[in-house]
Every structure is written in structure tokens, then in C-alpha cells.
Structure 1
């Protein structure tokens, strides 16, 4: 019935608190329950992620035991945290273990990028600058429960924020996305709006280490199911960077197939998002009716001030540690590094001599 369908879709609107937001807001140390998660998504998790509700507690306990047997790792062990990794790994314990190890390593080990996760105070100048512009905006959920986000580095004023400060703040936003149960089950779609991007802002891609670490972190160390990444309004010089990304040998083909460019073809953008959801989710700047990006940033500002996010960041500071001197041989090759990934360094070294883009 049309009226039922309209009401059903409205529950995903960012203008109202969706069930997904309520579900993710409950993040305590007690046993995991499916409170706030629609039955149809519980069934989808069972079908697509091998998540059998009756066995979830046992799977979490198994991952917790493995974590306790790793002398080089110290980490929080609450149900909801560990479940993120099991879901992305489709309840394959070996994959979940590697993902969790990588997650900790990029944050706390010299093998990763720990300075990128040395989060500033929410009252710091860089966070205030970050929250004053729509760098990373949650648009809502599709009718299939996928979280949709738009990122725009074009607002980056290099006189006010360094590249590292910007990445820290963006990773703080990514932490929020990882907590959303609907996105854990159904995945996320990321729009990268390059409407205001310029060559200087993109120059960090000339740094081979930055490029490798950014791509590696997303692919191998974040408990996030990325459905698609859509580049919008990209300038001509981005063709060079996009080709570099698509040809990077350390990126999996499955990941590369999720990357799309649509330019200013908003009709194609709507198709990739889903025609039934596009107008409701897309901001006015991208041809939709979901308010302006600045208006939608209010959700991010509120999220940064929430107790659940402060708890998340506090646990990362206090409850996570990696001691490489105690790492077991069986885990030494879990995280690909620039030095160890010979195919990555040799395959892109020539490209990184200089990006001659106009």
C-alpha cells in the first residue's frame, strides 16, 4: 500500500531518529541483544553474513578467547565491539581475528599509522574547524538499511588544519559509522563530492606512504562493509589519481570494483544510490531534498558531543595496546606494510615521482 510504503521509508530519514540510531546508541558492556534491529535485517544478517542469532554469543566468546591468548594485544572485549569484526568477516573466526589485529595495529603500533588515531579533544581548534564545515556528513539509511555518507575535502583550509589533523577528525567520524548496527549488517555507501577540491588539497597523494596507508586502512583494518564509493563532481586532474587507485596492486579487485566516477551526471548518481532513496537522501547540493550539507552537519556535531562517542574514544585511548615485541609468528604478516608489500611499493613507485596534474 502506498501510504504504508511512504511511512516505512520515512523511518530511515535523518530528520527523525531512526531505529538504527537508537540501536547504535545502546552500547554497554552487557550481553548483546537485537534490540532496535528490524527482523528483516536480522534475517538478512543470517543469509548474507552467516549470523545465526542462537550462535552469536558463542562466536563472540570464541573471538574473546583468541584475543586473550594474544600476548601482544590488549583490547576491550565487550560484545558489541567484537561483533563488528565478526559481521564484516561473515563470522569467519580467522578473518575476524586478522581484522581485529589489524584494527589495533594501525592505531597502536609503529607498523600502522598511530599518529592518525591520536585523537584531539572535541574542544580543540582542529575539531572546531572540522565541525564548522561539512567534511563528512551522514545522510541517512536507504530503504535496505545501508548507511549513506558524503565526504568533501574541498572545505579543507590548509592554513587552519594540517593533513594529519584532518585525517584524525575524519577517522573520528568513521568510528561513529562503525557503531551503527544497520551499517554493520547492510553496509555503507560513500559519496566523495569533489566540487571544491583543488590540486593542492590532493597533493598528499604524491606521498606514497600516505596513499598506501589510507587505502590499506580502509581495505584491511576497518570493520566496515563498504558497498560502493562514488566520486562526484571530480575535476579533470582527478583522472590521474583515480587511475592510480584502480591500478594499485595491493588493492583487491573486489574493492576496486566498488569504486565509481559519475562526474556531474546526477542521474547516474541517483541510480547508484537507488532511485527509490536518492531524492530523500541526497542533499540539495547534489540534487536531492534532504536539506543542505550544513543543515545535515548538525547530526555530526551532536554525535561528537555524545557520551557514546566520548566512551568510544576513551576506550580506544585507555583499553587498547599493541606490543610488537610479544607478537606471535602466526600474526606477523597480518597487516600489510609499505616495506613488506613489495608489489605495492614497486608497482606504484614510478607513479609517485610527481603527479603532473593541471
Structure 2
């Protein structure tokens, strides 16, 4: 799969227009921008990074083609992964049995869009659909992080228009909320906001049980402020149709796009095609002992300190 990243994938015309108007993309300059970013990375003794063109292009788009911001974001991408070892560890592989089992349960569903659609990519996360005695919240986040990277590498809607998450809270109990590990949720949300090149456009919680409204709202206090502004919470199951056209959804959500099992099968095949990428990821990262210049990760602007350790949020 890595070989397919060596070339630059052309955007569909409608998305190319969005990239030019909203991301400052200049098609004739993309190759030279990628080359400049790659040359910089090769000169950094403290970073071992993926150097494939499509990977680097996703960071340029996520930084609106500011080379300095793209450099900083790639540095953060690897530095902050090291700050969340519960998620980014040796189990983050395409053939890990636990990863495969979570995919087959349909806990996380990637919703395919039509080719001409210029809207954000869509992911559904079924928070109450896994066995708490068998899996920890960090295991679910690990699988989510893997598909987040697949999305940034191959989903043009995600790299240009961003993405939305539908958090389906059906079947969630007090035990589920307790298992969410708010501190870990906050760390991972900050990582997604500060380090991932795809822009999060919204998190929409649906089917939130009335009995847990108060406890759930207190949980939201753990999200970074920018992400809290993009949150919506409702008990209405049909609220999903306000975010995702019905024909994109699986039958179980009132749509006509196959079943959740069909989507899970496609996701497993997709993950398998990225086997070599995730094997390579085990060797990517940063080493601050080799860093020639102080990190430009401003602790006043980040939920992580200069050393990459997470700073506790102040909860109202």
C-alpha cells in the first residue's frame, strides 16, 4: 500500500476547487511544496517520519499550505503519539487479533460518500456496542486512530473538507460512561485537534440516554475548548439525518447503503491493505535527545507541555 503513496493522487474537480479556495492549494506548486517538506524532515535528526507524498500532502492541506505549520504539525503528530502509549503501542497493527475483533463488531463504521460529494468524511462510533469486560476504552481509540490515519492518507473529503463523528450512545450504561476514562479521552481529543492534519468539523452525540444527561454533560468538560464548540448532544435517534444523508447510512440506521456487517467487512479488507504502513509506524517517532532546536510546541497554546506530557485541564 505504501507504494501507492509515492504518486500524488489528483483531486476530483469539485474538491480541487474547495482546496484552492479554502486551503490555499496551488496545484502547480504542490510537488515542490512536498519536496521542501520532505527535505526538511530528512535533515531533522530527532524525527523518523513517513516520507510518502500523500502523507506529506495531507499535512500541507491540514496546515493550509503553510510549510512552517506543516513542519510543526508533523513534529506534534509523532511527539504526542508518544504521550499516549495506551493507544499508540505494539498492538497497533493490521493483524492484531484485538483490533480485528473490534472492527468485526462494528464499533467504528466509516461511511462512504459519493465521488462528487464535497462534504466532510463521516464516521459512526457505537459507544455501547462492545463488551466492557473484554475491551478497554483505549482499545477502541486505538482502532479509531488507525482508521483516522487511513482516512488522512486516502480520503480526499477528509483531507480537504474535514470530518464529522457521529457518537451513537444507544445501549450506553453507567458502566460505559465510567469506562470512558475522561483523562484519556481528553488527551486523545487534544491530539486529534493539535496533531492530526484532518480538520474535525463536528462531534454529534445521538441517542444519549435521559438518565445520563447530567453525568454525560460533565464528561464533555474534558474536551478541549475548540472541540466543545463543535459538539452537539441529543436523545433523538433521527438527529443523525441532519448530519448524514440517509442514502449513505446502513440499513440499521434507516439508510440503504448495505448493512453494518458489510461496512465492517470492507473496513477489515481496507486495514489489511495497510499492513506494511502500520508495521512501519512502529519505527516512526521523535527522540527529544536528538532535537537540535527547542520544540515550538507552545505550552500556552497546547494541552501538552514542552516535553509532550499531558497537562491536566481545569474543569469548571
TM-score range, shorter chain: 0.7 to 0.9
Tell me which residue corresponds to 1:222. Answer: 196
| Cα separation, partners in 2 of 1:69 and 1:178, compared to 1, 3 Å | same
Which deviates the most, 148-157 or 257-266? 257-266
Q: Secondary structure at 2:205's aligned position in 1?
A: strand
Is 1:251 the counterpart of 2:224? The answer is: yes
- Could you say what secondary structure the match of 2:171 adopts? coil
Partners of 1:242 and 1:139 in 2: CA distance: 27
TM superposition shift of 1:30 = 3.1
State the SS of the aligned residue for 2:112: strand
Query: Are positions 1:331 and 2:295 aligned together?
Result: yes
- Per mean C-alpha deviation after superposition, the further-off stretch among 123-132 and 191-200 is 123-132
**Alignment CA distance shift 1:75-1:252 (3 Å):** same
Equivalent residues in 2 for 1:50-61 (5 A)?
50-61=24-35
Secondary structure of the structure 2 residue equivalent to 1:70: coil
- State the SS of the aligned residue for 1:51: coil
1:174-229 CA-to-partner distances (Å, cap 9, x unmatched) read 22212222321122221111102222222144553x13312211111112122222
Bigger proportion of residues as helix: 1
Matched, 1:297 2:264: yes
Among 145, 157, 162, the residue aligned to 1:171? 145
Q: Give the direction of change, closer, same or farther, for the CA distance of 1:131–1:345 in structure 2 (3 Å limit).
A: closer
When residues 27 and 257 of structure 1 are mapped into structure 2, their CA distance, relative to the original with a 3 A threshold, is farther
1:305-356 Cα distance to aligned partner (Å, 9 max, x none): 22xx1122122123x13111122444153574556799963612xx7xxxxx
Matches within 5 A, 1:1-358: 28=4, 30-34=6-10, 37-107=11-81, 109=82, 112-120=83-91, 121-141=93-113, 143-179=117-153, 180-205=155-180, 207-208=182-183, 210-236=184-210, 237-245=212-220, 247-248=221-222, 251-253=224-226, 255-266=227-238, 268-273=239-244, 278-306=245-273, 309-318=274-283, 320-331=284-295, 333=297, 336-337=302-303, 345=312, 347-348=314-315
**Displacement after TM superposition at 1:133 (Å):** 0.7
TM-score (norm 1): 0.77
Closer, same or farther in 2 for the Cα pair 1:258/1:205, shift >3 Å?
same
Q: Which moved more, 1:225-234 or 1:66-75?
A: 66-75
Question: 1:106 Cα deviation (Å)?
Answer: 2.3
Cα shift readout 1:54-89 (whole Å, capped 9, x = no counterpart) = 111121122223323332111121211101111111
Asked if the contact 2:137–2:180 (Cα under 8 Å) also holds between the matched residues in 1, the reply is: no
Q: Kindly tell me the number of residue pairs found equivalent between the two proteins.
A: 308
Asked which structure has the greater CA Rg, the reply is: 1
User: Could you list the runs of 5+ residues in structure 1 that have no partner in the other structure?
Assistant: 1-24, 352-358
Deviations 1:13-41 (A, max 9, x none): xxxxxxxxxxxx7853534241xx31121
Sort the Cα spacing of 1:200 and 1:252 in 2 relative to 1 into closer, same or farther, 3 A: same
Distance 1:206 1:29 in 2: 35
Which string of whole-angstrom CA distances, capped at 9 and with x for unpartnered residues, describes residues 87-138 of structure 1? Answer: 111111222112111111123x3xx113412253444431232122111111
Partner SS, residue 223 of structure 1: coil
CA RMSD, Structure 1 to Structure 2 (Å): 2.8
Name the SS for the 1:269 alignment partner: helix
CA distance in structure 1 between the partners assigned to 2:52 and 2:181 by the alignment: 40
- Give the number of the structure with larger relative contact order, counting CA–CA contacts within 8 Å between residues 6 or more apart: 2
Aligned partner of residue 150 in structure 1, secondary structure: strand
